[in-house]
């Protein structure tokens, strides 16, 4: 590893570690966080002549995917900036497509959580069968949500309601598979459940379906480190097999 490569990796790691800390603590990463890192990796790659337009376009495909998800509020803007940062730090496909690998590795924790929740939700099939979605997908609630007691939901941070009470007489809800980035709106939904509990229209044991706001930058950090540690020979074998 040359000096320039070491400086690039050190810059990416330092930036992602700080951004991960902010994402974990508050789920918010100021855009200014990325500016020094972007400047350093771009300058270092320009000095080395590492930017090739064709390779850059190919390497940018996962970044464009995350950008589209961000536009539709399915992911945060920081997720796009984090992956774009990795792209500009490692624009080459050979010997390792770092950007692709970072994204793939970063998807493992969320997928593992979905599998865990699917198994967890088996304990609440009775409540799920009773659930009536007058809007949205009932299947989406089960796949992307987790059944918890209302009291647990009201005490939790960075957890969002997927079953919005509409008519408790019919056990009817507006259902969704994800949440918005509007904190005020999401807090108002939590207040709806709180008011139902306080008015004793439902008990503390009332089951709601929720989904967490995950610290995706932390997963990008883990994915980036994993991609660096993945042997080049293994990548070559996978690509030629």
pLDDT at 239: 65
Contact yes or no for 99/56 (Cβ under 8 A): no
pLDDT at 241: 64
Average pLDDT over residues 9-34: 96
| C-alpha distance from residue 70 to each of 81, 173, 179, 228 (Å) | 10, 26, 13, 26
Distance, in Å, from the CA atom of 129 to the CA atom of 131, rounded to the nearest integer, reads 5
Q: What is the pLDDT of residue 4?
A: 87
- Res. 73: pLDDT tops 80: no
Q: How many CA atoms lie within 13 A of 181 on its CB side?
A: 12
Q: Which residues contact 98 (CB under 8 A, 6 or more apart)?
A: 86, 89, 90, 224, 227, 228
% of the chain beyond a pLDDT of 90: 71
Q: Which pLDDT band, with edges at 50, 70 and 90, does 138 fall under? A: very high
pTM (2 decimals)?
0.90
Q: Which of 10-14, 69-73, 98-102, 173-177 bottoms out in mean pLDDT, i.e. has the lowest? A: 69-73
If one compares 75 and 196, the residue with the highest pLDDT of the two is 196
Report how far apart, in Å, the C-alpha atoms of 120 and of each of 32, 113, 142, 145, 147 are. 39, 10, 10, 10, 8
What pLDDT was estimated at residue 169? 78
């Amino acid at each position: 590893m040359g000096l320039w490569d070491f400086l690039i990796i050190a810059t990416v790691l330092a930036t992602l570690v700080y951004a991960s800390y902010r994402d974990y603590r508050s789920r918010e990463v100021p855009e200014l966080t990325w500016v020094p890192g972007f400047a350093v990796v771009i300058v270092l790659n320009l000095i080395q002549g590492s930017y090739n337009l064709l390779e850059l376009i190919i390497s940018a495909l996962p970044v464009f995917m995350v950008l589209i998800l961000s536009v539709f509020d399915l992911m945060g803007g920081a997720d796009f900036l984090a992956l774009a940062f990795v792209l500009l730090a490692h624009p080459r496909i050979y010997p390792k497509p770092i950007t692709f690998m970072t994204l793939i590795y970063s998807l493992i924790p969320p997928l593992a959580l979905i599998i865990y929740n699917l198994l967890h939700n088996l304990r609440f099939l009775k409540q799920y069968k009773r659930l009536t979605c007058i809007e949205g997908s009932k299947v989406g609630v089960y796949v992307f949500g987790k059944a918890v007691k209302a009291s647990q939901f009201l005490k939790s941070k960075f957890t969002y309601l997927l079953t919005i009470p509409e008519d408790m007489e019919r056990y009817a809800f507006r259902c969704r598979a994800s949440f918005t980035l509007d904190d005020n709106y999401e807090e108002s939904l939590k207040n709806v459940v709180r008011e139902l509990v306080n008015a004793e229209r439902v008990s503390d044991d009332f089951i709601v379906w929720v989904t967490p706001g995950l610290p995706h930058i932390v997963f990008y950090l883990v994915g980036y480190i994993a991609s660096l540690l993945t042997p080049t020979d293994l990548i070559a074998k996978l690509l030629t097999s």
